[in-house]
Copies of this chain bind each other. A is one copy, B any other.
């Protein structure tokens, strides 16, 4: 058996402590699988005195993660601090420059600086592994970089923020408005300190940008993701969608088209009985489509101590076995700059209008849609006591441009009481 692999772990939150617990609990199992023991030399975190759910007494405490990353008695630096810059980034760079591989769960860091970090890693002959950065315990990074290496990938999509999926699922099951469930989620501790990262779709978009890079061999480009969060999803839309056999999910979709790379994160309608439609609560799902393999669906817990620590451990065991796969699946210097494209792939759309009680109102709406080249697949007008009438329209496949044009023209008819709501119906 080879010499032990000695870790330096920075960041002792839920995930860091989860990793320590697995290393302690399954030492023999992991040694058998890795071909060598995995040990912890030293750890680092902001607050040494905080009470943590693991025995850290055998590990040296190092106040500065950058110092930890550079130590001679650390073979592998495990960065679980988080954040796209500051000490997380500095310590990862320091580790690479000191000739150490890096394992991280830091999606923001990779989404913002993945290209420069992977170039640095290659220049130093090291790698960065980050299975835990996307979809928690689901092995999506390994699947895309390794298992699907014989495929030209065509589309990758997924539900990758458990908090948003919890909120949307709970709104439907409890019949509660967004604001009420948001407050519940906050009290349950499901939300990031800055909740916009979750409900604004930022966190999920970091993940999507990373997957796009691997899928299409392009430099990670978070700034090109079209992002819409779930803040505007109303309980009305969830109910109306359910009436027609759909569920609303915060769905990320990346695909390479003739016009360029489309990356978007937005609330979409999906069939209620589809695998994505069935996803409840904090569970994540990633769907990858390749020219040979067809469609692969991966499902599991997207967050939490155990699942995320499991993903970090898979990277640690991989490096203990001496396996070194290029950071984004091929040499970083060979990754092309992606040409970002606004979404142009046609889809059906869901429109919700509040129609004033005027003669000819519906005809005016139909005429705007017709003029925009949009044909109607289904339409429902709901009962209403007084005030505007709720009207739901599901279009046939049309382009986002046509929908945008119609949305712009509808208020000019004078028969619409509120801004129309439009949601894309994604084929999954």
Contacts and interface: CB of A to CB of B under 8 A. Distances in A.
A276 to B, nearest CB: 12
Interface in A18-68: 18, 22, 26, 29-30, 32-35
A213 interface: no
Contact of A317 (B150, B307, B310): B150
Contacts of A293: 137, 300-301, 306-307, 310-311
B26 A152 contact: yes
A32 B273 CA distance: 39
Given A142-B142, A331-B32, A22 B150 contact: yes
A318 interface: yes
A150 B278 contact: no
A149 B309 CA distance: 11
Interface string A114-146: 000000000000000001000001110011011
Interface residues of A, number: 61
Contacts of A143: 139, 142-143
A149 B297 CA distance: 21
A246 B195 CA distance: 40
Contacts of A301: 293-295
A326 B31 CA distance: 13
Contact of A314 (B18, B148, B330): B148
Q: Which of A152, A297, A334 has the most CB of B within 10 A?
A: A297
A314 B139 CA distance: 15
A151 interface: yes
Contact of A142 (B146, B292, B322): B146
Contact of A150 (B291, B313, B323): B313
A329 interface: yes
A329 B321 CA distance: 11
Interface in A259-276: 273, 275
Given A33-B329, A146-B318, A292-B307, 6 more contacts: A32-B334, A149-B318, A273-B278, A292-B310, A293-B306, A294-B301
